[in-house]
Amino acid sequence: MPQRGLACDMVVFGGTGDLAMRKLLPALYYLHRDRHLNPDTRILALARARHEPEAYRTLVKRRISQYLPQGDFDEQVWEAFATRLDYLSLDVSQRVAFPRLAKALGESPGRVRVFYLATMPELFASTAKYLASVGLADDQARIVLEKPLGQSLETANQINDQIGSVFDESRVFRIDHYLGKEAVQNLLALRFGNALFEPLWRNAHIDHVQISVLETVGVENRGDYYDKAGAIRDMVQNHLLQLLCLVAMEAPVHFEPEAVRNEKLKILEALRPITGMDVQDHTVRGQYSEGSRAGEKLPAYYFEKSVDHDSNTETFVALKAEIDSWRWAGVPFYLRTGKATAQRKSEIVIQFKAVPHRLFPQKGDDPAGNRLVIRLQPDESIQLSLAAKSPGRGMTLQQVELDLNFAKAFKRRRWDAYERLLLDVIEGDATLFMRRDEIEAAWRWVDPIILGWQNCYRSPKRYAAGSWGPEAADSLLERQGHYWLDERSR
């Protein structure tokens, strides 16, 4: 198998954190195992905790052997991977610490340097500045920023200005791991690699679109961060709007960074603003109260660790977005995300319109149109529902599904999103990363919704943990003659 990739120093800030242990280091382990890392690539993890490099490697070994599926952790592979892995105890809020980092990296002309900031966003700007102060923000350097990027347009601009004063935009990689998912890229393949769907991909044929990202877990240990962010900042401003862009964008001229990002930006700019009283009509926010799942009691949000007992933070959002363009005029895009819901799932549903004239009776109360379901979680698949004749006498129709299950269709192991995205950063390919103007356009659309919620002084609607969210989220669609196409309706 050929060795891929440029020789690189991968510097992981926050190397002891949840993201590094659960996602980044396992992704690097797989890239190493499958020979996608250049033999000279080194990984340097940083955090304040004092560990000797050997003790850190032992810690990583224990953690990633827990996270990897059975059979994927191999002692021999680990031994070779561990030789790439080093650790430096360093407080990134202290400028004086950075000469030690520069010394650890040493002179390395021609090597790519990736600085992955898996720390809190409050540290991003100073980290970039201190990197520059010791000459590490040169042309060979790339910086990767995790979400959330700011709390509003204003704060996002502050971070982006500060990063931008040190790193040129072409070297800033704002990661949204949803874009690295196989099924999301398959959405692009489906739309732009097949002639079948594109002629139908418009308001003449599509009735509405639903994008749901639902989690069964509550805020777990992230109460401190989450209580200040809420679902709209944590999920809608980034993941859900990015998915919406990929569903709605025009075909880019080339599959290369600027062409793809230009098309996504046009969608964000065409989103009809939701302001003033429209916020009440077009959005629903909820917060989970006590509930249960499979007989197990689940706590209310305001009893979670590090959450304010009087918190008004939303853990659920549903909203109706509209895109003012020729292609999408009149097609509602319903977005929904929530914590502590009945099911864990991320999916995009494209509901096509019914045939103009019904010749045959339809079985059940399914809407008559075809439906395309792109599922990102828990499994990755694409399903197309078609009307078929129900067996037996008569011509009663029933929806049946053509199912493209990636695990079945492709026997090869599917890459985790972080594997693909880390390799893209090393190779300098920003196609699947967000450009600054996309972030700004997304905040410009989200800020007035947050302001509308603040101005109405209403608390979020309660929903029982383990349920499908507040009833108002169902009413939002019922008013348009639609309903959420989830397990309740299938």
**DSSP code per residue over 437-489:** HHHHHHHHHHHHHHHHHHHHTPPPEEEETTBSS-HHHHHHHHTTT----STTT
Pick from 477, 19, 434, 454: nearest CA to 232? 454
Residue 16 Cβ vs ligand NAP, minimum distance, rounded to whole Å: 4
In SS3 terms, 376-440 reads as EECCCEEEEEEEEECCCCCCCEEEEEEEEEHHHHCCCCCCCHHHHHHHHHHHCCCCCCECHHHHH
Report the alpha-carbon distance of residue 482 to residue 238 in Å, rounded: 25
Residue 425 Cβ vs ligand NAP, minimum distance, rounded to whole Å: 15
Residue 62 Cβ vs ligand NAP, minimum distance, rounded to whole Å: 16
Q: Which amino acid is at 66?
A: Q
Residue nearest to ligand NAP (CB): 17
Longest dimension (CA), the chain: 82
**DSSP code per residue over 73-87:** --HHHHHHHHTTEEE
Residue 104 Cβ vs ligand NAP, minimum distance, rounded to whole Å: 14
DSSP element (H, E) containing 256 = none
Report the alpha-carbon distance of residue 27 to residue 422 in Å, rounded: 8
Residue 98 or residue 316: which is nearer to ligand NAP going by CB? 98
Enumerate binding residues for ligand NAP (CB under 6 A): 14-20, 46-49, 91-93, 118-121, 123, 146-148
Catalytic residue among 239, 254, 309, 357: 239
Exposed, middle or buried: residue 107 (CB in 10 Å: 0-12, 13-18, 19+)? Answer: exposed
Report the first-to-last Cα separation within the chain, whole angstroms: 45
Q: What number of helices (H) and strands (E) belong to the chain?
A: 16, 17
9 backbone dihedrals φ, ψ, rounded to 5°: -105, 110
Residue 192 or residue 225: which is nearer to ligand NAP going by CB? 225
Residue 126 or residue 383: which is nearer to ligand NAP going by CB? 126
Residue 453 Cβ vs ligand NAP, minimum distance, rounded to whole Å: 22
Residue 22 or residue 272: which is nearer to ligand NAP going by CB? 22
Residue 122 or residue 168: which is nearer to ligand NAP going by CB? 122
Residue 462 Cβ vs ligand NAP, minimum distance, rounded to whole Å: 26
Residue 50 Cβ vs ligand NAP, minimum distance, rounded to whole Å: 9
**DSSP code per residue over 343-355:** --EEEEEEEEPPP
Residue 25 or residue 476: which is nearer to ligand NAP going by CB? 25
Q: Which amino acid is at 239?
A: H
Report the alpha-carbon distance of residue 173 to residue 260 in Å, rounded: 15
Residue 222 or residue 371: which is nearer to ligand NAP going by CB? 222
> Is-catalytic flag, 32?
no
Q: Alpha helices, DSSP H only, in 68-214?
A: 75-82, 98-105, 124-133, 153-164, 182-192
DSSP state of 301: G
Calculate helix-pair angle for 25-33, 417-427, nearest 10 degrees: 70
Report the alpha-carbon distance of residue 432 to residue 388 in Å, rounded: 38
Pick from 321, 316, 346: nearest CA to 472? 316
Pick from 14, 1, 6: nearest CA to 37? 6
Residue 24 Cβ vs ligand NAP, minimum distance, rounded to whole Å: 9
Residue 16 or residue 186: which is nearer to ligand NAP going by CB? 16
Residue 352 Cβ vs ligand NAP, minimum distance, rounded to whole Å: 33
Residue 17 or residue 252: which is nearer to ligand NAP going by CB? 17
Looking at the annotation, which residues are catalytic? 239
